[in-house]
Chain A
Amino acid sequence: MSSDNRPFITDDSKVLTDTRDARMAGQGDRFNSKLREAFGSSPFILTKFDKFMNWVRGSSMFMLQFGIACCSIEMMHTYSVKHDLDRFHAGVPRASPRQADVIIVPGTIVSKFAPRMKRVYDQMPEPKFVVGMGSCTISGGPFQEGYNVVKGAEEVIPVDIHVPGCPPRPEALVYGVAKLQERIANGESSPVTVKPYELEQFSDLDRDEVVQKLADQIDEDDLVMRYNWSDSP
C-alpha cells in the first residue's frame, strides 16, 4: 500500500479491502484495540469458555445501589460526573440485589444492620463480588471501640477488595474496582474467609444466659445473629 493512500475518502470499491488490509497488517491504533488483538484478523476466536466468561464478567459489572454511611456519598461521586465509574464497565447501579454482581459496602456496619446486609448479600446471584469501601469495613475504623459496631465487613460477608480511607477518594474506589476486574478476568477467586457472625435459627444457639433470657421474646424459627463482642478483634 502506498503512503498517500487515503481510505474512506477515495473511491468506494477500495474501502472495504483497505479496511481489511489495515486490520490484518495492524496499522493505526484505531483498528488495534485490545479486542481486535484478542480476535486477530479472523472473525473467529479460540479460547477456553471459562476464560471468556471471566473476561466478560470483569468487563460488565452491575453494581448494587447500596448506601450505608459517609462513604456512600463518595460512592455517588464515583458514579456521577467527573469520575464516572461507567467508563470502567462498572457503572450501572441496580436497586435490586437480584440483578447485581458486585456489592460495594460503603460504611460502618452496626449490630442492627449486619443481618440485613447478610440477607442482601445472600440475595445476589452467584458469582458475586464484594468491594469493602473505607476503614469501617476493614476494622470498624474510627468507630471500632463502639459498643454497637461490627469490626469490619469481613466478619459478616467475604470481601474481595478492601479500599482504605475515611472515606476513600473516588479515584481510590475506581482503582479498587479496576483491581477487582483484573482479578475476575484472571480467574482469581476470593480467599475463603471464616465468618464469625452467621445468621442462624434461634433454636440452634447455645443455651446460655442471654439466650435463656430472650427465649420467650424470640420465636424458635426466627433467624438471629449472635454477637460475641469479646471474641472480635
Chain B
Amino acid sequence: MSLERPDEREEETAVEERSADEIGELLGDNVIGREEHINAPAYVIRPDAVQETLSTLKSEAGYDHLSCVTAQEYEDRYESIYHLKKYDDPTQEVSVVVPTDRENPVSESAEPVFRTADWHEREAYDLVGIEYDDHPDLRRILLPDTWQGHPLSRDYDQNRPQVVTLREHANPLQEDYKAGGQDSDTMLLNIGPHHPATHGVLHVETVLDGEQVANIDPDIGYLHRCEEQMCQNGTYRHQIMPYPDRWDYTANMPNEWAYARAAEALADIDVPEYAQVLRTMGSELSRMTGHFLALSTFALDVYGDFSAIFMYGMRDREKAQNILEDLTGQRMMYNYFRLGGVVWDLPEPREEFFEKTRDFLEDLPQALEEYHDLISANEILQMRTVDTGVLPPEVAKEYGATGPVARGSGVDYDLRRDDPYGYYDELDWDVVTEDGCDNYSRLLVRMREVEESAKIVGQCIDLLEEWPEDDRTIQSNVPRTLKPDDDTEVYRAVENAKGELGVYIRADGTDKPARFKIRSPCFSNLQTLPEMSTGEYVPDMIASLGSLDVVLGEVDR
C-alpha cells in the first residue's frame, strides 16, 4: 500500500463496526430469522418491512452501498436478497433476506431507500417473477415486454413460443409523435440499438426539447444472452470458467477472478501465492486493454474520429493482447483461471516473456504522453467534457456506482485495496480519484489507472523473475468434482475494469450451482445516465455515455 495517504487508512479502520447481534437488535421485530452466508450475516425479515429495515441499516449502521439484489425461487418460497456494504469499508457486509410466499410473491420495494434498487428489482421481476410493492415502474427490463413467463423460475418452459414486437417508430417529426400531447414542443428520439455511439446494442429513448434532453430512458436487453442460466447449467470445476470472459469482453481476465473468488470462498479452496501473482499480473494487463478501448472509443464519440486516436488506442491494446496471448494462448477469451490457481505457468523461455512485457511497460509513459497531447490537453475535448455529465458523489453512491465512474466523482472506493484479494495488498500502487465529477474526470481516472496498472505489472514481473524455482505451484489440489455443501450461500466481489463485479452462488449439494447471480458494475453505472444527462445537450449525453464506458455484454448478461 502506498505510503502517501496514511491518514486515509486510519480513517478507514476507524469505520464503526457493529457485531451481528447488535445489528439484529437494531432491526428489532422486523427480523424473523437469522442465516449465515459465508461472506456476511443474513437477516430474514418480513416482506412488508423492507424499506424500514434498509433505511435503518443505511442511516444508523452506515451500510450505504446496496451492492446487489438477488432473487431466486425455492420449492416453497421466493426470496430476494439485498447485499449491503459500506463505501468506506466494503469488508463490512450484511445481507437482508426477504422471503415471500409462492402463491402471491409480493414484497416491498427498496427503491425509496436506494435508487439503485429500481433496475435491480425490475430485473428480479423480469427473470424470477417477484413483484415489488411501491416500485415506481415495475416492467420488464431485459426481456421484451411481450415475453411470457419468467425464465429463471422453476416451472418455466423454455420451448414455448414467444412473440416479440418491433414497434414501428413513425417519423418523429409527425404531429402524433410528440411526447406529452399536442401542445408540447418536445420530440422523441431513439438512439440505438444500432448506433455507432452507443457502444453496442443499447437503446436510449430520449425526449428532446430543442437540443436539450428533457427525459431519457435507457432500454437494455438487446444482448441478454442468459449468462446466469448458462452458469447454472455448468459444473463448478470446468464448465463455468469460460463464461466470465464473455461478460465484460473488453477487459476479460478480472471477470474470471470474480467467479474464482466466489467459488473458492464457497468450496474453501486455497490458491498458491505464485498463482496469485500470475493472476494479478494478468488481470492488470487485461484492465489496461479495457481502458485503452474505453479511451479510444471515447475519443471516437467526442470527435467522431475513426482514425488517429482510435488507431493509437488499438495499437497499445494490441501490444497488451500480444503479451496476454503469450501467457494464455488466446487473444481475448483467455480462460486462464482455474479454481485453486491458473491453468499454466509463464511461457518458456521466460526471459523472452519478461523482456517483451518490460518493453511494453517502457514504451507506455511515452504512449500516455501522446494520449495526453491528443486527448486530455486538447481544448476541443475539454470544452466538450469539462463540467458536462456531472455526477455528484452522493448521487453516485445512491445508484451503487463503482469503478472509474465513482472514482471520477471523488468516491475513494476500490476493492483491490479496500477488500484485498490476490497479491494487491503486497504491492505498491495508488487508488486514483478525481474530484471533478464530470466526463473529463472519468476520462482522467482511466488514463491514470493505466499508469497504476503498469506499476503493478512491473512489480509482478520482478517478483516472478525472482521467485524460487521449487515453489512455482500454479494450482492447488482441487477435487475433480466439486460439490459444495447444501444450502451454502456466498456473495463475493472483485474490482474489474468497470467497477465492482460480484458473484452470488447458492450451492445445493450437487456439482452445479442452484443459483448463480452476477452483479454487473455497468448495470449500476448505466442507471446514472439519466441523472447526468437530463437537461444537458444531446452531444453531452453521448459524451456521458462514452465516459461511463458500459459494455453491453455485462449490462445485459
Q: Report A98-144 residues with CB < 8 Å from chain B CB.
A: 107-108, 110-120, 142-143
| B196 contact set on A, CB distance < 8 A | 65, 95
Interface size class of A (residues with CB under 8 A): 35 or more
Q: Of B161, B193, B223, B332, which is within 8 A of A228 by CB?
A: B161
Closest to B247 in A: A70
| Cross-chain contact A169 with B331 (CB below 8 angstroms) | yes
Q: 1/0 per residue B193-230: CB within 8 Å of A? A: 11110011100000000000000000001111111011
Binds B, one of A11-19, A37-45, A50-58, A74-82: A74-82
Q: Of A108, A117, A229, which is within 8 A of B162 by CB?
A: A229
Closest to A118 in B: B166
Q: Report A172-223 residues with CB < 8 Å from chain B CB.
A: 199, 202, 205, 208, 210-211, 213-214, 217-218, 221-223
Closest to B200 in A: A67
Given the interface pairs A116-B222, A166-B333, A167-B332, the reply to whether A226 lies near B161 with Cβ below 8 Å is yes
| B243 contact set on A, CB distance < 8 A | 142
Q: Of B163, B310, B332, which is within 8 A of A224 by CB?
A: B163
Q: Report the minimum CB–CB distance from A84 to chain B (whole Å).
A: 9
* Whole-angstrom CA separation of A76 from B300 in the bound complex: 12
Q: Report the minimum CB–CB distance from A66 to chain B (whole Å).
A: 6
Would you call B539 an interface residue if the criterion is a C-beta within 8 Å of the partner chain's C-beta atoms? no
Q: Report the minimum CB–CB distance from A204 to chain B (whole Å).
A: 12
| Cross-chain contact B333 with A120 (CB below 8 angstroms) | no
| Cross-chain contact B223 with A69 (CB below 8 angstroms) | yes
Would you call A68 an interface residue if the criterion is a C-beta within 8 Å of the partner chain's C-beta atoms? yes
* Whole-angstrom CA separation of A210 from B161 in the bound complex: 7
| Cross-chain contact A210 with B162 (CB below 8 angstroms) | yes
Would you call B10 an interface residue if the criterion is a C-beta within 8 Å of the partner chain's C-beta atoms? no
| B160 contact set on A, CB distance < 8 A | 210, 229-230
* Whole-angstrom CA separation of A227 from B195 in the bound complex: 25
Q: Report A143-166 residues with CB < 8 Å from chain B CB.
A: 143, 145-149, 166
| Cross-chain contact B249 with A73 (CB below 8 angstroms) | yes
| Cross-chain contact A73 with B163 (CB below 8 angstroms) | no
Q: Report the minimum CB–CB distance from B314 to chain A (whole Å).
A: 4
| B306 contact set on A, CB distance < 8 A | 93
Closest to B315 in A: A81
| Cross-chain contact B221 with A112 (CB below 8 angstroms) | yes
Task: Output the residue of B146, B163, B165, B310 with the most chain A CB within 10 A.
Answer: B163
Given the interface pairs A214-B146, A222-B166, the reply to whether A108 lies near B223 with Cβ below 8 Å is yes
Closest to B245 in A: A70
* Whole-angstrom CA separation of A106 from B197 in the bound complex: 17
* Whole-angstrom CA separation of A227 from B148 in the bound complex: 12
Would you call B402 an interface residue if the criterion is a C-beta within 8 Å of the partner chain's C-beta atoms? no
* Whole-angstrom CA separation of A142 from B553 in the bound complex: 14
| A67 contact set on B, CB distance < 8 A | 199-201
| Cross-chain contact A143 with B230 (CB below 8 angstroms) | yes
Q: 1/0 per residue B136-171: CB within 8 Å of A? A: 000000011111100100001011111111111000
* Whole-angstrom CA separation of A229 from B242 in the bound complex: 25
Would you call B512 an interface residue if the criterion is a C-beta within 8 Å of the partner chain's C-beta atoms? no
| Cross-chain contact A222 with B249 (CB below 8 angstroms) | no
| B553 contact set on A, CB distance < 8 A | 69-70
Q: Report the minimum CB–CB distance from B322 to chain A (whole Å).
A: 10
Q: Of B156, B163, B318, which is within 8 A of A147 by CB?
A: B156
| A22 contact set on B, CB distance < 8 A | none
Closest to A167 in B: B332
| Cross-chain contact B318 with A167 (CB below 8 angstroms) | no
| A73 contact set on B, CB distance < 8 A | 249-250, 293, 332
| B317 contact set on A, CB distance < 8 A | 77
| Cross-chain contact A142 with B223 (CB below 8 angstroms) | no
Q: 1/0 per residue B524-555: CB within 8 Å of A? A: 00000000000000000000000000001100
Q: Of B144, B159, B314, which is within 8 A of A77 by CB?
A: B314
* Whole-angstrom CA separation of A119 from B201 in the bound complex: 14
Given the interface pairs A73-B332, A80-B311, the reply to whether A226 lies near B162 with Cβ below 8 Å is yes
Would you call B30 an interface residue if the criterion is a C-beta within 8 Å of the partner chain's C-beta atoms? no
Task: Output the residue of B195, B199, B221, B224 with the most chain A CB within 10 A.
Answer: B224
Would you call B246 an interface residue if the criterion is a C-beta within 8 Å of the partner chain's C-beta atoms? yes
| Cross-chain contact A222 with B318 (CB below 8 angstroms) | no
Q: Report the minimum CB–CB distance from B275 to chain A (whole Å).
A: 25
| Cross-chain contact A148 with B224 (CB below 8 angstroms) | yes
| A226 contact set on B, CB distance < 8 A | 161-164
Given the interface pairs A68-B223, A167-B333, A222-B168, the reply to whether A145 lies near B163 with Cβ below 8 Å is no
Would you call B233 an interface residue if the criterion is a C-beta within 8 Å of the partner chain's C-beta atoms? yes
| A119 contact set on B, CB distance < 8 A | 166
| Cross-chain contact A210 with B224 (CB below 8 angstroms) | no
| Cross-chain contact B200 with A69 (CB below 8 angstroms) | yes
| B195 contact set on A, CB distance < 8 A | 95
| A223 contact set on B, CB distance < 8 A | 165-166, 168
* Whole-angstrom CA separation of A82 from B242 in the bound complex: 27
| A111 contact set on B, CB distance < 8 A | 143-144, 147, 162, 164
Q: Report the minimum CB–CB distance from B333 to chain A (whole Å).
A: 6
Q: Report the minimum CB–CB distance from B385 to chain A (whole Å).
A: 22
| Cross-chain contact A225 with B166 (CB below 8 angstroms) | yes
Q: Of A68, A77, A95, A229, which is within 8 A of B201 by CB?
A: A68
Q: Report the minimum CB–CB distance from A222 to chain B (whole Å).
A: 5
* Whole-angstrom CA separation of A225 from B222 in the bound complex: 15
Q: Of B193, B293, B333, which is within 8 A of A70 by CB?
A: B333
* Whole-angstrom CA separation of A22 from B331 in the bound complex: 47
| Cross-chain contact B166 with A227 (CB below 8 angstroms) | no
Closest to A95 in B: B196
| A69 contact set on B, CB distance < 8 A | 200, 223, 225, 246, 249, 552-553
* Whole-angstrom CA separation of A49 from B143 in the bound complex: 49
| Cross-chain contact B165 with A202 (CB below 8 angstroms) | yes
Given the interface pairs A70-B246, A108-B223, A149-B226, the reply to whether A224 lies near B161 with Cβ below 8 Å is no
- Which residues in B have some Cβ–Cβ distance to A below 8 Å? 143-148, 151, 156, 158-168, 193-196, 199-201, 221-227, 229-230, 233, 242-243, 246, 249-250, 293, 306, 310-311, 314-315, 317-318, 331-333, 552-553
**Could you jot down 30 A-B contacts, CB within 8 Å?**
A66-B194, A67-B201, A69-B200, A69-B553, A70-B246, A70-B332, A73-B293, A73-B332, A76-B314, A80-B311, A81-B314, A82-B318, A93-B306, A95-B195, A97-B194, A112-B144, A143-B227, A145-B230, A146-B225, A147-B151, A148-B225, A149-B225, A166-B333, A169-B331, A202-B163, A214-B146, A217-B145, A221-B168, A223-B166, A225-B163
A68-B200, A76-B314, A218-B165 known; 6 new pairs, CB 8 Å cut-off, are: A69-B223, A73-B250, A80-B311, A95-B196, A110-B225, A145-B229
Task: Report the 8 A-B pairs with minimum CB-CB distance, sorted nearest first.
Answer: A146-B226, A70-B249, A115-B166, A80-B314, A230-B159, A113-B222, A143-B225, A147-B151
